[in-house]
Structure 1
Amino acid sequence: MPVAVYILGLSVFALGTSEFMLSGILQPLAQDLGVSIPQAGLLVSAFAIGMVVGAPVLAAATLRLPRRTTLIALLAVFGLGQVAGALAPTYGVLFVSRVVSALACAGFWAVGAAVAVSLVPLNQRAKAMAVMVGGLSIANIAGVPAGALLGQHAGWRSAFWAVAVLAAIGLVGVVVAVPRTEVPTGADQPRLRRELSIYKDKQVWLALTATAMNGAAVFALFSYLSPLLTKTAGLAESWVPTVLALFGLGALIGTFIGGRVADAHLFPTLFAGISASTLVLATLALTAHSPFAAVALSLMLGVTAFTTAPALNARMFNVANAAPTLAGATTTAAFNVGNTLGPWLGGLVISAGLGYEYTAWLGAGLAAVAVATTFVAFRLHRAPHRSRVVAASGPGVAPGAVSGVELTKEDDAAAGARR
């Protein structure tokens, strides 16, 4: 794996720490700014909204710019956004700083994903994406719990300062290790109209829906994990960083598993991971008052949720192979549609007085929708295969020949992986 891919994963560590750390500092932040827990939870949605809007917009706007220069500029803006968040005097200012940081984060992820997959062969796409997703996993293991500890002992603003330092380190790494790339010219020049054509493919929309619902399922619970642990399971607040670290450890394990198996077994990985997340969330809803169950199932949710992440990313690059920049952008947007929808719906559940355990029931329902969507996509994916078998079995057709049916983009990618 090229060193540049690992540097991109390291940069994503800073981005992921900023995106997820609010789950560990939600309560002190809400108290300091004088807002409710659901209102503070909307800061998670604010970041996700910025990611949803920023990924496709910035990917399109920077389509013909050198990718390395784009990555440097976006990481610099992200770092400044963290400084603004640390200095924010009001909830409104913090909200805006989260959106600005998210716009830069989204653009970095979209362009960085395109760079990562361009540096490896087709049969290592899921592994390359696993390295980048691994940055998010390590953020959950180290960054988020560290942010929670900082929030408890040095104030929630210190967590934002720490992420600003991480962004500066990532910026140096990108400058040093990511190779310069020339802007393609002529027929190879990226064209927005050609890349936008991917949205005519229903498999792209099915992949986006499954990605969004999977993200919503996880974040409906994860955004409110801290109060669930303390107010429902009865754990001391000092346990929160430990449980967040366990979730992150599970995420790292899941990312490793998904990166190893998704290239060869994409749909089985999706089915197994999302179905397992559904089961874990439903079990947590039933056992949320048990401290042991809450801790153990938080670890398991990290494993199941992140096992699917490399597969979801690789699938989008397969079905949108002709538009790698927008493929990365739309995957990022889909993840963060889920990250927006989940905390918002979870906040509605809490505001309705149903209790924090009902965010787990909500997550289980959203995950079930992702399973159903993946099943529809699988059936559509298998249909061309059945058609080719029928066509090839007719009279006058040589064994193994294909008549009247073209290979799909996903088949081309799979064939490249086998080669």
Structure 2
Amino acid sequence: MNWRMIFVLLAVFAVGTNALIMAGIVPAIAEGLNTSEAIAGLGLTVFALTYAVIGPLLPIVLSRFGRRTIMAGGLLLFIGGTVLSGLAPDVTAFMVSRMIVAVAAAAIPPQAAAIAIAISPPGNQGRALGLLSAGILLSVATGVPLGSLLGIWLGYAGAFLFLASLGIVGLIGLFFIPPTPKSAKATLAEQFAPFRRPAVLALGLVALLFAWCQYSITTFFAPVLKGSAGITDIGVPLLLVIYGLAGVAAALFAGRLIDRFGGYPVAICGFTAITLTTPLFSLASTFLIAAIVVVLWSLAQNATFPAAQVEMGRLHPANPATAFALYAALLQAGGAIGTAVSAGVLQALGPQWIAPLAAVASMVGTVVISVLAHRLRSRTRAEESLVENIPDSVPLK
């Protein structure tokens, strides 16, 4: 691994933890801002919606700048927004701070992915994105418990200031990363052209369905597992930690598989495994069985994510950050849809139906990505056959 990746990973970890830390300190935020927990919790919704709307546009608007410059600007915005989150005097200022952090969060990971590819040796792109996924998943494993602990030790303001300090370290680390090539110059129409490509839209739909399934389960971990396995309040965050740690291992191992076999085979196998394991959440009857299901599901989930992301970047090689931004935005949109649908299912049918219906989204995703891979493979073979059948007397231009 290129040692400079450490700073890229730190920046991604700080951004991911910032999004998740609120789950552990919402009560403290509500008390500090003299509002209800429901209103304080809307900071998560504001963050997700801002990210989903702004995310796909940022790489296009900022395409004239170098990736390192964009990431540095994003980290400065992240630091400022996070400090404001900790020191906000009222609810309005706090919500504005979450919008600022969301813009930074939308800017940083796509550029981080593009930088990771640029500074990695040829043929190691899968491993590079696997490492980035591991950083994100480590934030999943530590975000909620870290937020709870920092909230106890430092108060919610101290928790946000701690994350701002991580952003400062990541910003300093950018000086050690060599400048990466700027995106190829293109008109605005050319920049938006990939969004009209059927393959890009199909893979974007896959990202949405992936997040739909993932957020349906992770958002409602407590009611789903309490209903099936009788998990206690302590057991839920423990299972989330297990999910995150298993995901880190999956992301690191998946990177090697992606580099060897390609993104589509790994993603198809991962989606199939997700579809098979998701309904098991409603059947887990003990903590041990629930833990096994969580591990298997996390391994499948977190091998699929970098595999599909690699292929998304390859669909737009001139500016992969644009493709990564669209991918990330559709993940946020899918998460919002999955959370809303599962909330309705919880109210209307009960927690036991959340997992089976989430598996339907995964199953559709499996079909979509399988068809997409088959068509792209058939097109590639047809092009290779056409080249091979050109007579030797015909000059190739």
TM-score bracket for this pair, using the shorter chain length: 0.7 to 0.9
Deviation at 1:105? Answer: 0.8
| Of 179, 194, 200, the match for 1:198 | 194
Deviation at 1:59, TM superposition (A): 1.1
Deviates further, 198-207 or 150-159? 150-159
Superposition CA RMSD, Å: 3.2
- Is residue 144 from structure 1 mapped to residue 141 from structure 2 by the alignment? no
Structure 1 Cα separation of the partners of residues 69 and 329 of structure 2: 22
> Which segment is superposed worse, 192-201 or 88-97?
88-97
Which segment drifts farther, 249-258 or 221-230?
221-230
Counterpart position of 2:80: 80
Write out aligned runs for 1:316-335 (5 A). 316-335=312-331
Change (3 A) 1:128 1:333: same
Q: Which amino acid aligns with 1:169?
A: V
The 1:65–1:393 alpha-carbon spacing in structure 2 relative to 1, beyond 3 Å, is closer
Q: Is the 8 A contact 1:275 1:368 kept in 2?
A: yes
> Could you give the per-residue CA deviations for residues 290-312 of structure 1, whole angstroms, max 9, x where no partner exists?
33333332233221111112111
Deviation, structure 1 residue 129: 1.1
CA contact 1:134–1:255 (8 Å) conserved in 2 = yes
Shift of 1:30: 7.1
- Other-structure match for 2:272: 275
| Corresponding residue for residue 124 of structure 1 | 124
Distance 1:22 1:362 in 2: 27
CA deviation after TM superposition for structure 1 residue 201, in Å: 1.9
Question: CA 1:29 to 1:254, structure 2 compared with 1: closer, same or farther past 3 Å?
Answer: farther
| Cα offsets for 1:319-369 (capped at 9, x unmatched) | 22233231222122222222222222233333x243334332332121112
CA distance in 1, matches of 2:382, 2:162: 56
Instruction: Kindly provide the amino acid, as one letter, of the partner of residue 371 in structure 1.
Output: T
* SS in structure 1 at match of 2:324: helix
Q: Which moved more, 1:89-98 or 1:329-338?
A: 89-98
DSSP-derived class of the 1:56 partner:
coil
- 2:260 is paired with a residue of what secondary structure? coil
Q: Following superposition of structure 1 onto structure 2, how do residues 280-291 of structure 1 map, counting pairs within 5 Å?
A: 280-287=277-284, 290-291=286-287
Secondary structure, counterpart of 1:263 in structure 2 = helix
**CA displacement 1:145-181 (0-9 Å, x = unmatched):** 322334467655554333223222222222x322235
Counterpart residue number, 1:368: 363
1:377 matched to 2:372: yes
Q: Could you tell me how far apart the structure 2 residues matched to 1:102 and 1:346 are?
A: 24
Tell whether the 8 Å contact from 1:24 to 1:226 is kept in structure 2 after alignment.
Answer: no
Alignment of 1:83-232 (within 5 A): 83-88=83-88, 93-151=93-151, 158-174=158-174, 176-181=175-180, 188-229=184-225
Query: 2:13 matched to which residue of 1?
Result: 13
Asked if 2 retains the 8 angstrom alpha-carbon contact of 1:391 and 1:403, the reply is no
389 and 11 in structure 1: CA distance in 2 versus 1, 3 angstrom threshold: closer
Residue type at the aligned position of 2:148: A
Report Cα offsets for 1:86-105 as digits up to 9, x if no partner. Answer: 34466555444323211111
Identity in percent = 26
Corresponding residue SS for 2:289? helix
Shift of residue 283 of structure 1? Answer: 0.5
Secondary structure of the structure 2 residue equivalent to 1:211: helix
Match of residue 410 from structure 1? none
Aligned counterparts of 1:97 and 1:224: Cα–Cα separation in 2:
26
Amino acid at match of 1:81: G
Q: CA deviation at 1:225?
A: 2.0
**Aligned partners of 1:48 and 1:102 also within 8 Å:** yes
- d(CA) in 2 for partners of 1:330, 1:255: 21
Aligned twin of 1:413: none
* Distance change in 2, residues 1:344/1:311 (3 Å): same
Distance 1:273 1:299 in 2: 13
Tell whether the 8 Å contact from 1:130 to 1:258 is kept in structure 2 after alignment: yes
Amino acid at match of 2:349: L
Moved more, 249-258 or 354-363: 354-363
Counterparts in 2 of 1:403 and 1:259: CA distance versus 1, 3 Å: farther
* Per-residue deviation, 1:35: 4.1
CA contact (8 A) 1:75 1:108 kept: yes
- Checking the alignment, whether the CA contact within 8 Å between 2:17 and 2:143 is kept in structure 1 is yes
Is 2:350 the partner of 1:355?
A: yes
Label 1:69 to 1:393 Cα distance change in 2 as closer, same or farther (>3 A).
closer
Q: Distance in 2 between matches of 1:156 and 1:227?
A: 26
Kept in 2: contact 1:53–1:103 (CA 8 A): no
1:14, CA displacement in angstroms?
0.6
For this pair of structures, how many residues does the alignment match? 394
CA distance, structure 2, for counterparts of residue 304 and residue 153 of structure 1: 35
2:307 to 301, 311, 322: 311
Structure 2 segments unaligned to the other structure (5+ residues) = none
